[in-house]
Structure 1
Amino acid sequence: MDQKSVHEYLQSKPATFITKPFAQETDVYKVQHKMFATLYEGKEGQTDANGEPIWWLNVKCDPDEALILRDRFESVVPGYHMNKRLWNTVYLDGTVPESEIKKMIDDSYHIVVDNLPTAQKEEIEKLLAK
């Protein structure tokens, strides 16, 4: 998945909105004011085979799952500028299958939703059921 398709998938999650609290080039995706992902251009000089910059996606993870994903994919590393136990950074370099990236995003979103106050959680669950 590239930056654009990841951005569109993140935005498709119910009640998601984007803020830019860190820098203009860093999108922070939130549900009910709780962060579930960030998307930003990676370090300078990191490019794909076409010379395009590689984007980085941070997602929240179950701690055990985070370790499994890091072992499974070279492009999944401990969360950059995040709690390394609970967040992973995914380099969007084309080596992680789209289905895996979507699953990581879904899991991150659900971890946050599951920890919302009951009324907010029920509101989101109704949107998910549609």
Structure 2
Amino acid sequence: MNIEAFRAYCLNKPGVEETLPFGPDTLVFKVMGKMFAATGLDEEAFRVNLKCDPEWAQQLREEHHQIIPGWHMNKKHWNTVYFEDGLEEALLLKLIDHSYDLVVSKLPKKDRAFIEEAQERR
């Protein structure tokens, strides 16, 4: 999956905005103002930081050399995933969805209801 497909997939999710809060070289995707994905725009390798359940994060790191502890993030809750290094697209989409869903699950009830309603309309 390339960066254009990644960006389109993220922006298609309800409540998502793309921002540059860390400067022009780091693209961040937020759901209702909370970050669920970040990627550098000035790097050779396309890699994405994604939030992940700690137990699954560890399992993924053990099974895939393309998944490492989150670069510049809380390494317990974030993974850095190399997107163009042989992982199947289905797994990449699952990781994006998982990160998004983790963040949504921690949103206030009103915001979660907005997201759920938007998903039902799709």
* Whole-Å separation in 2 of the counterparts to 1:4 and 1:73: 23
How far off is 1:23 after superposition? 2.1
1:6 matches 2:6: yes
Unaligned 5+ segments in structure 2 are none
Give the partner amino acid of 2:108: P
Give 1:93 shift. Answer: 2.3
Matched, 1:70 2:49: no
Partner of residue 120, structure 1: 111
Instruction: Name the SS for the 1:21 alignment partner.
Output: coil
- SS of the residue aligned with 2:87? coil
> Counterpart in 2 of 1:21?
21
1:102 aligned to 2:93?
Answer: yes
Q: TM-score scaled by structure 2?
A: 0.94
Once the two structures are aligned, what percentage of the paired residues are identical? Answer: 38
Aligned counterpart in structure 2 of residue 58 of structure 1, from 14, 38, 49: 49
* Kept after mapping to 2: 8 A contact 1:41/1:54: no
> Which stretches of structure 1, 4 residues or longer, exceed 2 Å deviation after superposition?
none
What SS does the aligned partner of 1:109 have?
helix
Q: Which structure 1 residue ranges, 5 or more long, are not aligned?
A: 44-52
SS in 1 for 2:24: coil
Q: Distance in 2 between matches of 1:99 and 1:40?
A: 22
- Pick one of 62, 65, 77 that aligns with 1:86: 77
**TM-score (norm. length: structure 1):** 0.88
